[in-house]
Structure 1
Amino acid sequence: MSFGKTTPILRVFDEAKAREFYIEFLGFAVDWEHRFAEGMPLYLQVSKSDCVLHLSEHHGDCSPGAAVRIETDELEAFHKQLNAAGYPYAKPGLETMPWGCKEMKIADPFGNRLIFTDAIST
């Protein structure tokens, strides 16, 4: 038995704010987006390297306030990049955890928490 990659779905409420946070601030790329018709909720896939997230305005897809851990081997450089970006709504810190890894926690505009970590699973 085998399982594939996990792709979290995060609830968003405002397309412009989602793009500002995920694309402009965090540097994710839009892979694709879908709407059933004009004026309907957006469903969007964004990625940064091997990290893939789905962002959904659909109320039945997920609940706001999720937490997602994202592994990176360049946490300190990413931390510096984000703090230099001048995004007015987040100035993430870098924290050394009791178990030895470092983490950077950022809340998106919709209450979802992204926890970037240098703890790399094998």
Structure 2
Amino acid sequence: MVEEAIPVLRVENAATAVAWYARLGFVQQWEHRFEPDFPAFVEVARGPVRLFLSEHRGDATPGTLVYLRVRDVDAVAAEFGVTAEEVPWAREIELRDPDGNRLRVGTPLE
């Protein structure tokens, strides 16, 4: 087992969130509901990077910020129609998912 931290992001609609995160290269791994009409709790992954997306009202706070370090921020920027900016440590973009969670995506400078 690999030890890791997995951010939990609050979402209103897991299916909508999963589709948005797919644009970032994430793939749904599984979905759990205690009952068919209960809120969803979903894991998405991009290689070894994992996020939990939760419809549960007590989980997380909308507007959370997650930093994603990727190999090619310019490819991600192109997918979302934005331009990466250079800061002292990386080339970065900032995105907001449909629920207002912020994702800062960057490629470290060499």
TM-score with structure 1 length normalisation? 0.80
Report the Cα distance in structure 1 between the residues aligned to 2:20 and 2:48, rounded to whole angstroms.
19
Residue deviations 1:70-106 (CA, integer Å, cap 9, x gap): 11122223323x14xxxxxxx3331111x24111111
Work out whether residues 93 and 105 of structure 1, in 8 Å CA contact, stay in contact via their aligned partners in 2.
Answer: no
**Where does the alignment leave 5 or more consecutive residues of structure 1 unmatched?**
84-90
Q: Which amino acid aligns with 2:19?
A: E
CA distance in 1, matches of 2:16, 2:82: 18
Q: Does 1:96 align with 2:86?
A: yes
CA-based RMSD: 1.8
Offset at 1:51? 1.3
Paired position in structure 2 for 1:118: 107
What amino acid is the match of 1:76? Answer: D
2: CA distance, partners of 1:18 / 1:36: 19
The percentage of aligned residue pairs carrying the same residue is: 33
- Which residue of structure 1 lines up, in the alignment, with residue 56 of structure 2? 58
Runs of 4+ that moved beyond 4 A:
none
Matches within 5 A, 1:35-74: 35-74=33-72
Shift, 1:20, TM fit: 2.4
